Amino acid sequence: MSGSLTSGRPVVGVFALQGDVREHLQALAAVGAEPLAVRRPTELARCDGFVIPGGESTTMAKLARTFELLEPLRDRVKTGMPTFGTCAGMILLADRIEDGIAGQETVGGLDITVRRNAFGRQVDSFEGDLAFAGLADPVHAIFIRAPWVERVGDDVEVLARVERGPAVGRIVAVRQGHLMATAFHPEVGGDTRVHALFVDLVRGG
């Protein structure tokens, strides 16, 4: 652990082997964290919290194993490091995947079942406003080849659902203890409130 929690600026790592890393680093800095691009176990060891960004979930898992990051990350998640997964990151935190590929690995920890590419292909990407637990005003959510949550365990809190369209009612944001995940990309568009909620979680709020 970095010891930076006492200064109020927790070190929050972002998985940096693939995915939309830069946007998360900027959002975390904007809400008072010390962001760190993480590619190696030694960098992970410095983190008080961690973000797994959007990208391609199977590629990210393979790269994490290649760079010897997968098992250390599993251990940190299991032992309580606050971790936030967005889009592909939600898939990587899920304990169960539907429509995954044979042998697809995850970090795990979240007692949810996610459906990969649930909203369709890249051309089916869309935006919409969502009520989000803990925030007074709606979040403008951007979905890009996004998953959704099919089922949640008893200890999982649903933070947001799709509010209109053919996917109305689908779960797209969850929290279970020290773990958070969204099917959409909160790092896009300049609204940092979801990142602020996560950084509060890292601080123990």
Catalytic residue of the set 23, 24, 47, 185? 185
For the chain, the residue count is 205
According to DSSP, the residues that pair with 140 across neighbouring strands are 129
**Angstrom distance (rounded) from CA 108 to CA 93:** 4
Query: For residues 19-51, b (16+ Cβ closer than 10 Å) or e, as one string?
Result: bbbebbbebbeebbbbbbebbebeebeebbbbb
* 71 in catalytic set: no
Cα separation values, 197 from 146, 149, 175, 202, Å: 21, 20, 11, 9
Catalytic residue of the set 23, 24, 47, 187? 187
The structure tokens listed for 118 are 């649930």
* 87 in catalytic set: yes
Catalytic residue of the set 23, 24, 47, 87? 87
The single-letter code of the amino acid at 93 is L
* 140 in catalytic set: no
Q: Which residues are catalytic, by number?
A: 87, 185, 187
